[in-house]
Amino acid sequence: MGKIYKYRKVTDQYTTYNIVEPDYSEGDLKIIDLATIDGVSYVFMPDGVILPNQPKQVVLEECIVDEALYNMIERSSSHTELINRRINDGILTMTEGEATKRLLGYIPTDFKTKIERMAEIETSIKSSILYKMDGQEIEKYIIDKVTDLPSVNQFLQFLAKEIKNILHKLETGS
């Protein structure tokens, strides 16, 4: 998978010290500069990348990506800006865009993004009996099955439960 590292670029009177990347061969996985936030640069380093010796001014620290760091990178990264533009232009679906962002390595593996949660909710809602039935089917069901007061009560309880589940999923994002 790879890891996220952070470091501060250091500038003196002669140069700016950045991470020194390896000499890549064709097809090699490359380090991805994700974003610079408050003077701290965040990079994704795929597994297997071996860095050459770094200038003493460059101190790499491994980051544990939590929701706060994810959100900061999401807002600041030119990569996510381009992916979002491609989604808006219809070049990528939202699911493809989220998968591409996951490849950048800054989304924690156990973290579901808002788009991923909404896709799960949509799938869950589409599995609801109410979603699957059109108006005529619901009307036929009511005519055939809701024939007395106990069946009306049972149907209304079922309907209330389905609506409550849908609203809960929309409110909580789960």
Domain boundaries, the chain: 3-111, 123-172
Describe the crossing of helices 78-88 and 67-76 by its angle, rounded to 10 degrees: 70
Print pLDDT tens along the chain (174 aa): 788 999 999 999 999 999 999 888 888 888 999 999 999 999 999 888 889 999 999 999 999 888 888 889 999 999 999 999 999 999 998 888 888 888 888 787 777 777 777 777 777 777 776 666 776 777 787 788 788 888 888 888 888 887 787 777 777 766
Q: Looking at residue 6, what is its pLDDT?
A: 95
Q: What pLDDT is attached to residue 17? A: 92
First to last CA, the chain: 26
Q: What is the pLDDT of residue 174?
A: 61
